[in-house]
Amino acid sequence: MTVRIRGKLYDGHTAAAGQDVEALGSASGQLTLVGQAFGALDVSEIHISERLAAIPRTLSLPSGHVFESSDNDTIDHWLQQCGQSASWRFRLESNWSFALIALAIVSIVVFASARWGIPLASDMIAERMPAEVDSMIARGALDALDEAVFEETALSDALQSAHQTLFKNLEPSDGEATFKIEFRGGGWIGANAFALPDGTVVVTDELIALSKSDDEISSVILHEMGHVIHRHSLRQVIRHSWLALLSLLIVGDVSSAGALVLALPSVLVQSAYSREFETEADDYALMRMQELDIKPINFANLMQRMERCALPEDEELQECREAKPNASLSDPGKRRDWLQYLSTHPATLDRLTRFKDQNN
């Protein structure tokens, strides 16, 4: 039985418009283009593209010409007459049950990768990263933040020297990591502190002004040292990189991967640490506070004050600093679940309660 396939014939060498042509396909596997000088072509001589939904098929001829047709059903019928089965890919693609199962499997794989696979792979990579990588990321991030966020510190030389001595006394004696402190005007992030991968701990002038004692500052610094010891910043950056790569693989969005490289400083400052990371940093801080005879309540007090004061003007800071603790953090019926410690330090009431309990 002969089938008629309608389409356009292109010369395959130029951008010339296609010519409307009808092709006749026989059950014996011969294809004849009506009105053309090619003669009968055997199906084995023709390269036929696989069917994909309603996209036109291309039949590449030995002469270099290309016959393009949207008569996909007719082409499939002809191929079946010639003893060739339909593409298994098309059969799967057109099967709704398979499509739904595949979508479910892909969703599970993506979720499992993001939830467990990426953190595990990131931690393994971070453990093997040389110190030079930490230094490179930290240096670039601090330079970028100095341009976009921070201001030059207004602390006097005497006050800087006093806090550098305080910081030096907090460094672990085992040399597990190398630390240094940097002072900056907080700009729009106000009273805060955070750690960079190379052990640099940035403390803002506003945080020092908000604290009431060296022990309060020390408790925050020890928490930041915990982030450095456990390489949380580097692990965070690697995890975001994996997520960008996963996005690239799923949606083909190359811009997301490039944007991450440009946004590394923002990732370090604005991405919330996981509960796991915060717990590890808290564990380290509590252990060191016990060693140094610093009461854990100092950490909770400063965190509460940071939430209460947010970003006040200079003339309001002293009044805010001396105000009573926010009742929302002591009354479970009025509790607030999140405090602002950059945005990288979600301090839940449970975490602060833990420091208060340790104090007792």
Question: Domains in the chain, please, with CATH?
Answer: 3-87 (2.30.29.30), 131-359 (no CATH)
Q: State the pLDDT confidence band at 329, using cuts at 50, 70 and 90.
A: very low
pLDDT bin (cut points 50, 70, 90) of residue 15 is confident
Give whole-number Cα distances, 237 to 43, 147, 234, in Å: 55, 20, 5
Higher local confidence (pLDDT), 317 or 187: 187
Selected residue with higher pLDDT from 72 and 242: 72
Higher pLDDT, 131 or 40: 40
Distance of CA 342 to the CA centre of its chain: 18
Q: Looking at residues 67-77, what average pLDDT do you find?
A: 89
Q: Stretch 334-354: mean pLDDT, rounded?
A: 54
- Of residues 84 and 182, more confidence is placed in 182
Beta carbons of 70 and 56 less than 8 angstroms apart: yes
Among 33-37, 77-81, 167-171, top mean pLDDT goes to 167-171
Instruction: Provide the residue count of the chain.
Output: 360
What digits encode the pLDDT tens for the residues 215-226? 999 999 999 999
Phi, psi of 299 (to 5 degrees): -65, -50
pLDDT of residue 252: 58
How do beta strands 180-185 and 151-152 pair?
A: antiparallel
Residue given tokens 């105000």 in the structure block: 323
- The rounded Cα 27 to chain-centroid distance in angstroms is 56
Q: What is the per-residue pLDDT for 258?
A: 52
| CA dihedral for 260, 263, 265, 266, sign (positive or negative) | negative
Range from 60-74, 188-202, 227-241 carrying the lowest mean pLDDT: 227-241
Please state whether the predicted TM-score (pTM) of the whole model is above 0.85.
no
- The predicted-structure confidence for 117-162, as pLDDT tens digits, reads as follows 877 887 888 888 888 888 888 888 899 889 988 999 999 999 999 9
3-class DSSP assignment, residue 74: helix
Q: Find where tokens 């929302």 sit.
A: 328
% of the chain exceeding 90 in pLDDT = 29
**Which pLDDT belongs to residue 333?**
39
DSSP code of residue 327 = G
Within 10 angstroms of residue 106's Cβ, the number of other Cβ atoms is: 11
Query: Across the chain, what does the average pLDDT equal?
Result: 80
**Pick from 189, 230, 214: nearest CA to 302:** 214
Count CB atoms within 10 A of the CB of residue 60.
16
pLDDT in tens, 265-284: 544 544 456 778 888 999 99
DSSP class of residue 341 equals S
Give which of 270, 269, 251, 248 is closest to 259, Cα–Cα.
248
